[in-house]
Every structure is written in C-alpha cells, then in structure tokens.
Amino acid sequence: MINFHSKKIIVLTGMMGSGKSTIGKNLALKLRREFIDSDIEVSKASALSTSEIFDKFGEEYFRSGEKKIIKKYISERNENLVLSTGGGAFLNKELRDLINNKSISIWLNASYNTLYKRLNKNTKNRPLFHGHELKIKLQELIEKRTKYYKLAHFEIDVNGLHITEIIDNIIKQLENNYNEIC
C-alpha cells in the first residue's frame, strides 16, 4: 500500500538516458499525480524539437526557456505533480536551489555503461552529443555533472533494475523519509 501523501512536487533529475521521463510517468501514475516533462513543455512553447531549438537559437535560448518552465511549475503549481527536468537543469544554481527548497528532488543515478547502451541507440534529439564522439562526451558530462546531481535530496540507483523495482524503491525512500522532506 502506498503511504506517501505530500503536497510537494517531486522533481526528477539525472543524466540524459537515466530514465527520467519513463520513470516519471510511471511514478506519477502510481502516486496519482500529473506528469510534466520540462523538455516537452519547452518544445511545445516554440513548436520545435529540442534539437531544432539548439540548432536555430542555441543552447542559451533553450536554457532560458527551460528555466522559465521549471520556475513556473515549481512556484505556481506546488502540488500533485511529478516533474521530469532536462539533464542540464539541475546544474543551474538558481534552479537547483528553488527545486531543493520547494520540492522533493530525486537523482536517477545511472552508470556510464547503462547510459552508453541507451544513448548509443539514438542521439538524434540529444543535441549535446551532435558532432561529438558519444563515449568521450558522455564521460565528460558525467564527470562534470555528478557533483551537482549529488545535491538532490535522494539518489536512486537505476542500474539493471526493472521499472517496477525502481518505482518501488523511490516510494520506499519517500515514505521512509517523510518527516524530513514534507
């Protein structure tokens, strides 16, 4: 039985390919919450894919759209939501502080091997890898970003686990730490 009831938004962070969208959708279903993916919202706002936004307007433009969307959801809709954020959002201090102060943040921790296997299938809509050797860029991003992801309230290991196990582990963590986070 699920015993977790909180008004705070649950925010998922972690590397591209760590499963934020799939896990987010399933977690939302299980907790009877709405699910929002910040990448999809940024795309909708400009009617362009992430790659098209990067190509036409550059990364800075994407980041400012991403910031606006995340801020909007965290400050205006502080309830009943699971929000999956693009892998770069948590690196921004202002966003990270806002997320950590107002919501419950969860880092989906996937190893290099897990990420490589998933990302190697398709990097078409992952512009940070365009024009780069996947192996090298992936390693570089993991090295640069891990210290920020570690600042999330919770870390969930997603390596080699079925989605149902991951969701169960997230809910267990939330329930066990209810008093500290809610």
For binding to ligand S3P (CB under 6 A), which residues are involved?
Answer: 16, 20, 39, 50, 86-88, 126-128
**Contact assessment for residue 105 and residue 35, using Cβ atoms and an 8 Å cutoff:** no
Residues β-bridged to residue 164: none
Closest approach, Cβ 182 to ligand S3P, in A, equals: 26
Nearer to ligand S3P, 6 or 125 (CB): 125
Nearer to ligand S3P, 6 or 51 (CB): 51
Q: Measured at CB, which residue is nearest to ligand S3P?
A: 86
| Count of CB atoms situated within 10 Å of the CB of 79 | 10
Closest approach, Cβ 178 to ligand S3P, in A, equals: 28
- C-alpha to C-alpha distances, 27 to 45, 95, 108, 140, 166, nearest whole angstrom: 25, 22, 13, 30, 9
**Contact assessment for residue 116 and residue 22, using Cβ atoms and an 8 Å cutoff:** no
Residue with tokens 């910031």: 67
Nearer to ligand S3P, 4 or 87 (CB): 87
Closest approach, Cβ 173 to ligand S3P, in A, equals: 21
Nearer to ligand S3P, 30 or 118 (CB): 118
Closest approach, Cβ 76 to ligand S3P, in A, equals: 21
**Contact assessment for residue 89 and residue 95, using Cβ atoms and an 8 Å cutoff:** yes
DSSP assigned state of 53: H
Nearer to ligand S3P, 6 or 157 (CB): 157
CA separation for the pair 14, 17 (Å, rounded):
8
Closest approach, Cβ 158 to ligand S3P, in A, equals: 13
